[in-house]
């Protein structure tokens, strides 16, 4: 059994990171790639994995220390000697040699870093999962390559599925696929190892730099102060479950695992008191907070976020007849959670009105031939987009979000509008950017393209983010009105029902007019009823005379 140094691997460009949690203790047995400790940079928390399977013999750092690539964080007795002569092996087993030279030699034989293997004129890189735009633990649904395949840069390697979209992870290099490190069903996050790839390399500097790195790290190990040796103290336990409101602008300090737990339990991390180093929130804090909220709910104390509302106890439906159970899809579960959160947190009011679109429809239908030449179908949606963009510019109180933690109103200087799309997989809302700067034909083409990508589950996360306002239409199905739920943190949403011919009094007689029902739901914390009436009035004017959209 060989002893080797555990060193900080490549940190993806971060110069220095802080240790926020030590996951193992001296004497623990670990498998290769098991997390050893968690570090935090300015932008993310990352778990550092074990370089090999074995037993942790020494931890040379503590929570709060700052480390960089190449620093020694502990020692590992690897379970199995990867190479070397019989004499070298017997020396290791009889008496561990503390010299930096022998450690470096053992390291070079037993645990060369996977990303820097050299083979003639090539090198092997471990391809990692890139940024997933905020998504975590996305399952692999398809592996697009096989070991031995040759791929080009940007060729798709695997396909993953988030709550709302399917994404292909591209290859960052051109090369040959080596070992595939994941399988279908595995869950990935940013920074997860994906596969090994052999890349042609012109120079021989890669191997030299790795050797020099080993030497430098060995020197670093010898200079470690004695005070860092010894058993690591456990993370402090929560001091209590009392809630202390954070001051405005307080940043939540919590790692990915804690944030995931909070999402699963429905806990608002801004209301959780952290007991970790520098007020960091740990899992025990989340459990303590949830327990206290449940106790308050049982005692009749309300919870502002709605998390204390008791669930509905279901009867045994099988006593009434035959039933079948099936699990919710990820998209359905995510939609249900988002809808409930919006409904519980936003005081909804809905304003109803009818727009006379008789002339607009005549103009739209007259564009059929032009649309065929362009390969674009002109629907009512581009007119609605332009009208809403004009109304948002005229009434900017609808183009805001409320930051209740800081007691601030976020005013947006851009106009991006989401369009709700009914797909076989569930409701999806792609976002059209800078609607106020685009023409009708451009909006028609872009909305059709995004709707098709939504139905094909090909939307990228960035294509579903950043909306200021949402339009949802049931006009193709039917109905006279409905009350759409605001897509928080937006403050308003426009529901569109099916247009129908109605008699309208023109001052002398009734005229048949094509009337489009509009339902504007809004957040009453941000928008007053009078403003909502002004908004729908402006929409009816713009849609009633589309020439005003040019002004």
CA distance 239 to 253: 17
The answer to whether residues 527 and 346 touch, using CB atoms and an 8 Å cutoff, is: no
User: Residue 295: which residues within 8 A CB-CB, separation 6 or more?
Assistant: none
CA distance 475 to 495: 9
Q: List, edge to edge, every strand of the sheet that includes 122-128.
A: 117-119, 122-128, 193-200, 175-180, 150-151
Helix (H) or strand (E) segment spanning residue 530? helix 529-544
Decide the pairing of beta strands 175-180 and 193-200: antiparallel
Identify whether 62 is preceded by a cis peptide bond (ω within 30 of 0): no
Helix (H) or strand (E) segment spanning residue 396? none
The answer to whether residues 254 and 262 touch, using CB atoms and an 8 Å cutoff, is: yes
Copy the structure tokens of residue 224.
Answer: 């470690």
Q: How far apart are the first and last CA of the chain?
A: 80
Say how many residues make up the chain. Answer: 551
DSSP at 266: T
Identify whether 463 is preceded by a cis peptide bond (ω within 30 of 0): no
**Which among 427, 393, 424, 423 has a CA at the least distance from the CA of 411?**
393
Copy the structure tokens of residue 70.
Answer: 């190449």
Burial (0-12, 13-18, 19+ Cβ within 10 Å), 225: exposed
Copy the structure tokens of residue 34.
Answer: 């098991």
Helix (H) or strand (E) segment spanning residue 234? none
Looking at the DSSP bridge assignments, the partners of residue 76 are 4, 56
Q: List, edge to edge, every strand of the sheet that includes 54-59.
A: 2-7, 72-78, 54-59, 29-30
Biggest CA pair distance of the chain: 110
The answer to whether residues 486 and 453 touch, using CB atoms and an 8 Å cutoff, is: no
The answer to whether residues 140 and 185 touch, using CB atoms and an 8 Å cutoff, is: yes
Catalytic site residues? 524
Q: What are the contacts of 10-17 at 24+ separation with CB within 8 A?
A: 10/69, 10/115, 11/39, 11/41, 11/46, 11/68, 11/69, 12/46, 12/128, 12/191, 14/41, 14/42, 15/68, 16/66, 16/67, 16/68, 17/41, 17/46, 17/66, 17/67, 17/68
Q: Where are the beta strands (DSSP E) in 387-536?
A: 400-403, 408-411, 417-419, 421-423, 426-428, 431-432, 469-473, 492-496, 500-505, 510-523
């Amino acid at each position: 059994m060989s002893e080797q140094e555990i060193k900080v691997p490549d940190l993806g460009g971060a110069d220095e990171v802080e240790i926020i949690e030590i996951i193992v203790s001296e004497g623990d047995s670990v498998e290769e790639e098991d997390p050893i400790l968690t570090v935090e940079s300015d932008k993310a928390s990352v778990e550092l994995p074990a370089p090999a399977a074995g037993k942790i013999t020494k931890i040379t750092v503590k929570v709060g220390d700052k480390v960089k690539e190449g620093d020694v964080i502990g020692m590992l007795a690897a379970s199995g000697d990867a190479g070397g002569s019989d004499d070298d092996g017997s020396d290791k087993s009889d008496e561990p040699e503390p010299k930096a030279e022998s450690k470096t030699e053992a390291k070079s034989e037993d645990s060369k870093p996977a990303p820097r293997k050299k083979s003639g004129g090539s090198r092997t890189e471990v391809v990692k999962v890139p940024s997933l735009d905020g998504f975590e633990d996305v399952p692999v649904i398809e592996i697009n390559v096989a070991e031995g395949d040759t791929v080009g840069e940007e060729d798709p390697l695997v396909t993953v599925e988030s709550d709302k979209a399917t994404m292909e992870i591209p290859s960052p290099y051109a090369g040959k696929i080596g070992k595939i490190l994941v399988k279908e069903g595995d869950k990935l996050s940013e920074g997860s190892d994906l596969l090994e790839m052999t890349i042609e390399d012109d120079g021989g500097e890669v191997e030299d730099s790795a050797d020099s790195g080993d030497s430098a790290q060995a020197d670093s190990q010898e200079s470690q102060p004695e005070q860092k040796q010894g058993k690591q103290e456990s993370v402090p336990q929560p001091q209590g479950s009392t809630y202390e409101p954070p001051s405005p602008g307080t940043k939540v300090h919590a790692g990915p695992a804690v944030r995931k737990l909070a999402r699963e339990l429905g806990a608002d991390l801004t209301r959780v008191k952290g007991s970790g180093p520098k007020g960091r929130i740990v899992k025990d804090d989340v459990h303590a907070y949830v327990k206290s909220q449940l106790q308050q709910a049982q005692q009749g104390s309300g919870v502002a976020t709605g998390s204390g509302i008791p669930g509905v106890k279901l009867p045994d439906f099988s006593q009434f007849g035959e039933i079948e159970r099936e699990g919710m899809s990820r998209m359905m579960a995510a939609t249900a959670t988002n809808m409930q959160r919006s409904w519980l947190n936003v005081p909804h009011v809905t304003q109803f009105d009818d727009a006379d679109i008789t002339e607009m429809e005549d103009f739209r239908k007259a564009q059929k031939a032009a649309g065929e030449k362009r390969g674009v179908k002109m629907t009512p949606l581009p007119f609605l987009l332009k009208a809403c963009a004009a109304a948002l510019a005229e009434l900017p109180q609808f183009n805001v979000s409320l930051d209740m933690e800081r007691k601030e109103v976020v005013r947006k200087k851009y106009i991006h509008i989401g369009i709700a799309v009914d797909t076989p997989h569930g409701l999806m809302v792609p976002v059209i950017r800078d609607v106020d700067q685009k023409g009708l034909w451009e909006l028609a083409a872009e909305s059709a393209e995004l709707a098709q990508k939504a139905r094909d589950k090909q939307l990228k996360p960035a294509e579903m983010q950043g909306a200021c306002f949402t339009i949802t239409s049931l006009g193709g199905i039917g109905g006279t009105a409905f009350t759409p739920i605001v897509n928080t943190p937006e403050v308003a949403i426009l529901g569109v029902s099916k247009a129908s011919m109605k008699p309208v009094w023109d001052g002398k007689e009734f005229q048949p007019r094509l009337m489009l029902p509009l339902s504007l739901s809004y957040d009453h914390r941000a928008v007053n009823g009078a403003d909502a009436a002004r908004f729908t009035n402006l929409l009816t004017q713009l849609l009633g005379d589309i020439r005003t959209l040019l002004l």
